Structure 1
């Protein structure tokens, strides 16, 4: 049996990452090491633990029961060590180098990134930003696995138990249309027009349709697109309308070709939640970055822009 007091902590980090990623290539990418380094670490771990830990199942590596037990036991302690060490490390944005990893929805990315990237480049010129776009289905998993350290999104499901959260804004919905089309004149007009729907999963129904059904009304969704940015390719010059969160609409309208109308349907507000890994809660660099994200999102949500 291995004496874990004598094991290199880096080996344990490799084990946790391998169990989460199920791939030596993906684990190497996340750990910023080579794939042979990860394979070598796995061989050493197998010898130390006396268990295969991960076995090949098709193209993926499947963790053994022992590996899953070790994951549950080791991960909280490793995250605690990381948090304690990072909390003791000062951060100077003007001179330090750091890679920040942000996950967000397509809508948040489109509204937030112009301000966030400008602020980051100005205040922390040697730091970099990696942005992963996802939705409430995938972002909690990215946060739990460490692919991102911070998320800003509508999170329908509860974030991981190891995450901390802060609600930043409850956003109403508005309607976008071609700027040459007449303004909406109420619910009847809204239901009569053809709609474009942003649908990452490919479904042609959403919050609006649920609300309309409760009111015994319906609409025709003529087009589904995978991202909000694609609305700029389909709304100008057409009779389509689209319902979007209000913090995104001014950014889209500022790029030209679309106008904003109030939404005549009572749709639940979008809760924009900032979530971050508990291990990074006291990290001075991550705390600084979260404040930067909050400021940039607050500015993006300010409706002083032309409507």
Structure 2
């Protein structure tokens, strides 16, 4: 058998493969034509194309019909496997079974989601999908989206400071709204009176950022009044920040859920910031190539469930 090159591959279509398989079964060109709803010349033409491609007669004419050559017998299971795979692509994905699925889920998120959402998600997955492993990475904003593009993560979770709908490469789902609060140790004097923007600006702030100083909605609100935060300490992670503020005069701006969930553990208090329209949205983002992936669709359902439960608890506590 001669080598098959890329030009030869372009000449192969499903019709000639099906004709080949049907000829192996029927051993009669007229029977193949009748079974497939083709004309006999069409069947003969398909067989001719196959003979030219493989450089082999494939079927020898005998008194009783067509006799497959040794190569035809060798090709039959391979061609049957190709046709079966093609058929499976048309049938769509199999129904996803979380109980038997075994895979890794890679999630990129900022520290707030890593400590607020991921622990509960992992707990939920362990109950119903013990063989699905979660790998979380400290990624946010454009770094997270770039990791999605490169296939390094399956899902990006968090706040994105630019319109997600401006890029058709991503499928985004709005999970919940959030707003910032000011947090500090429980007996911090800043909580003895009503908060004003001037009070917030004068306070000694700690900033949580793995990449150094940056700006958020609080900074924007202060800037509109000609004010800015007095940032004196920068740490890369939430728990480091909470450990510091519960034993110092520093304060920190946190999403309200994060502050509420950690108030008892770290002996901190928090108050709403005097900012109008200071809410922001938390999104779950996937690459568009995974928009119909059954695993990812199921993961989003679990995320929605986790967020809904957390929202119910937060509403009750408020």
Q: TM-score, normalised by structure 2?
A: 0.65
Pairing partner for 2:257 from 230, 234, 247 = 247
Higher Cα radius of gyration: 2
- Establish whether residue 141 from structure 1 lines up as the match of residue 150 from structure 2: no
Look up the match of 1:130: 135
Cross-structure match for 1:15: none
Distance 2:213 2:267 in 1: 26
Shift of 1:88: 1.0
Work out whether 1:173 is the aligned partner of 2:180: yes
* Residue 6 of structure 2 corresponds to residue 3 of structure 1: yes
Q: Which position in structure 2 is the counterpart of 1:97? A: 102
Matched, 1:303 2:308: no
Give the Cα–Cα distance (whole angstroms) in 2 for the partners of residues 5 and 267 of structure 1: 63
Task: Please give the secondary structure, in 2, of the residue aligned with 1:167.
Answer: strand
Q: How far is 1:204 from its partner?
A: 5.7
Deviation of 1:177 after TM superposition, in Å, equals 0.8
RMSD over aligned Cα atoms: 2.8
The structure with higher relative contact order (CA 8 Å, sep 6+) is: 1
How much has 1:261 moved relative to structure 2? 0.9
Runs of 5+ consecutive residues of structure 2 not aligned to the other structure: 11-85
Q: What secondary structure, in the 3-state scheme, does the structure 1 residue paired with 2:270 have?
A: strand
Distance (whole Å) between structure 2 residues aligned to residue 205 and residue 261 of structure 1: 20
Q: What secondary structure sits across from 2:97 in the alignment? A: coil
Where do 5+ consecutive residues of structure 1 fail to align? 8-80
Alpha-carbon distance in 2 for matches of 1:219, 1:208: 8
Task: Name the residue aligned to 1:78.
Answer: none
Which residue of 251, 261, 271 corresponds with 2:271? 261
The alpha-carbon deviation at position 134 of structure 1 amounts to: 1.1
Q: What is the correspondence of 1:56-75 to structure 2 with a 5 Å cutoff?
A: none
Please report how far the alpha carbon of residue 212 of structure 1 lies from its aligned counterpart in structure 2 after TM superposition: 0.7
Q: Cα deviations across residues 182-215 of structure 1 (Å, max 9, x unaligned)? A: 4152214323321111123211654322211211
Q: Which runs of 4+ in 1 moved over 4 A?
A: 4-7, 84-87, 304-307
- Is contact 1:250–1:305 with CA below 8 Å preserved after alignment? no
Tell me the residue number matched to 2:292: 282
Q: CA shift at 1:4, angstroms?
A: 8.0
Q: Distance in 2 between matches of 1:4 and 1:156?
A: 48
User: For the residues of structure 2 that align with 1:175 and 1:253, how far apart are their CA atoms?
Assistant: 12
User: Kindly tell me: are residues 189 and 153 of structure 1, through their superposed partners in 2, closer, same or farther at Cα, counting changes over 3 Å?
Assistant: same
- Asked whether the equivalents of residues 192 and 219 of structure 1 are also in contact (C-alpha less than 8 Å), the reply is yes
Range with greater deviation from structure 2 (181-190 or 129-138):
181-190
- Greater CA drift, 261-270 or 214-223: 261-270
- SS across alignment from 1:92: coil
Displacement of 1:140: 0.7
Q: Distance in 2 between matches of 1:139 and 1:306?
A: 32
Q: Distance in 2 between matches of 1:173 and 1:5?
A: 63
TM-score if structure 1 supplies the norm length?
Answer: 0.67
Residues in 2 aligned to 1:129 and 1:172: alpha-carbon distance in whole angstroms: 27
Per the TM alignment, residue 305 of structure 1 is displaced from its structure 2 partner at its CA by: 7.3
Is the contact made by 1:211 and 1:267 (CA closer than 8 Å) also made in structure 2? no
The answer to which structure has the higher helix fraction is 2
* Offset at residue 158 of structure 1 (A): 4.5
CA distance in 1, matches of 2:275, 2:287: 36
